[in-house]
């Protein structure tokens, strides 16, 4: 009799459904009707659930990696995959050579119950390329919540991002994102901010930075920041110099055609662009300035026969 279930035979197997103490009774009878009874308590202990955290998972050698676990147990054995091992719940290890290392953690308790978790550390050349594809505004009871659409174009996953955002610049608020963005994955991240109707004329700007990456820069930082607007007005939101280019951010109320030119203080045209098709909302353009000397210039924007001007300095 095990757990109020009866079995017959000299040798049986039984799977206990849960942890706890169970009474087991054995009844024996011989050919002459003589019988006897034996009783034993069987205690079923819980098995540890092994889990691990690796930070960072990617990098270049020499790379110090932190290994930690929240698993409940009494013994923790780490195998780092490079013929080295360590004992402890939170340990560090330095990898000195390129390669992909398969790591495992064995967690055991005082009853010799154990479980194993697995992970990988990659020390290989990788490319970091995060991209903000768009900013949406989600209607939330007459308020608007910004949502970023982010694409991981890297050759490595990213687990931690810092998102800076604000009005007309991205230095007002900071949001830390701690999940996992796999290679080629698109993630929609709602920011902890609600906009009202008074904010419709403002430009909302955001910037993303991977913060779990060591000694590696994003290959295209232009894709790391983006501005958007709820306004249906035509206006120049931002104008700044960067790497021999004048970066133009302009909000357009509808699809249209845009051209621009750069004029000096004498009225001479030094640069004239081709006609560009625009989309609704915030549009980004780059105007080359490497042939311009230090001085004062005027940027003229022609959008569907509407003219905007802005003075800038080099």
- Greatest Cα-to-Cα distance within the chain, rounded to the nearest angstrom: 125
Q: What is the mean pLDDT of the chain?
A: 89
pLDDT tens-digit profile of 264-297?
A: 999 999 999 999 999 888 888 889 998 899 999 9
Does the pLDDT value for residue 230 go beyond 80? no
DSSP symbol at 223: G
- Residue 100: half-sphere exposure toward Cβ, Cα within 13 Å: 4
101 phi and psi, to 5 degrees? -115, 125
- Categorize the per-residue pLDDT at 109 as very low, low, confident or very high, splitting at 50, 70 and 90: very high
Which phi and psi (to 5°) does residue 199 adopt?
-90, 0
Q: Across residues 107-118, what is the average pLDDT?
A: 93
Q: From the CB of residue 138, how many other CB atoms can be counted at a distance below 10 Å?
A: 12
Assigned token pair, 234: 């035509």
Query: Which of 80-94, 206-220, 227-241, 249-263 tops mean pLDDT?
Result: 80-94
Cα 154 to Cα 164: distance, rounded to the nearest angstrom = 20
Q: Give counts: helices (H), strands (E), the chain.
A: 0, 24
Label residue 189 by pLDDT band (50, 70, 90).
very high
Given this model, what pLDDT does residue 115 score?
95
Q: What is the pLDDT of residue 16?
A: 84
The pLDDT tens digits of the residues spanning 252-266 come to: 988 999 999 999 999
| C-alpha–C-alpha distance, residues 271 and 269, integer Å | 6
Secondary structure class of 156 (helix, strand, coil): coil
At residue 198 the predicted structure's pLDDT band, cuts being 50, 70 and 90, is low
Distance of CA 198 to the CA centre of its chain: 31
Segment 133-185, tens digit of pLDDT: 999 888 877 788 899 999 999 988 998 999 999 877 777 899 999 999 999 99
Per mean pLDDT, which of 50-64, 85-99, 183-197 is the most reliable? 85-99
């Amino acid at each position: 009799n095990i757990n109020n279930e009866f079995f017959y035979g000299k040798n049986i197997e039984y799977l206990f459904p849960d942890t706890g103490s169970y009474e087991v009774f054995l009844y024996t009878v011989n050919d002459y009707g003589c019988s006897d009874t034996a009783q034993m308590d069987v205690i079923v202990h819980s098995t540890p659930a092994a889990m691990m955290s690796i930070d960072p998972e990617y990098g270049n050698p020499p790379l110090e990696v932190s290994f930690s676990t929240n698993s409940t147990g009494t013994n923790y054995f780490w195998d780092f995959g490079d013929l080295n091992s360590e004992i402890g719940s939170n340990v560090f290890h330095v990898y000195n050579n390129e390669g992909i290392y398969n790591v495992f953690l064995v967690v055991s308790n005082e009853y010799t119950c154990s479980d194993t978790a697995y992970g990988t550390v990659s020390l290989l050349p990788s490319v970091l390329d995060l991209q903000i594809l768009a900013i949406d505004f989600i209607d939330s009871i007459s308020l608007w919540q910004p949502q970023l659409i982010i694409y991981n174009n890297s050759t490595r996953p990213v687990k931690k991002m810092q998102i800076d955002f604000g009005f007309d610049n991205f230095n007002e608020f900071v949001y830390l994102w701690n999940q996992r963005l796999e290679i080629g994955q698109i993630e929609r991240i709602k920011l902890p901010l609600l906009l009202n109707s008074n904010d419709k004329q403002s430009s909302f700007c955001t910037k993303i930075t991977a913060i779990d990456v060591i000694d590696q820069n994003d290959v295209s930082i232009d894709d790391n920041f983006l501005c958007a607007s709820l306004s249906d007005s035509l206006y120049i939101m931002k104008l700044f110099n960067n790497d021999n280019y004048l970066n133009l951010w302009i909000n357009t109320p509808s699809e249209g055609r845009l051209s621009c030119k750069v004029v000096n203080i004498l009225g001479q045209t030094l640069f004239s662009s081709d006609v560009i098709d625009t989309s609704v909302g915030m549009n980004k353009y780059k105007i080359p300035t490497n042939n311009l000397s230090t001085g004062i210039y005027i940027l003229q924007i022609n959008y569907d026969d509407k003219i905007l001007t802005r003075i800038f300095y080099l």
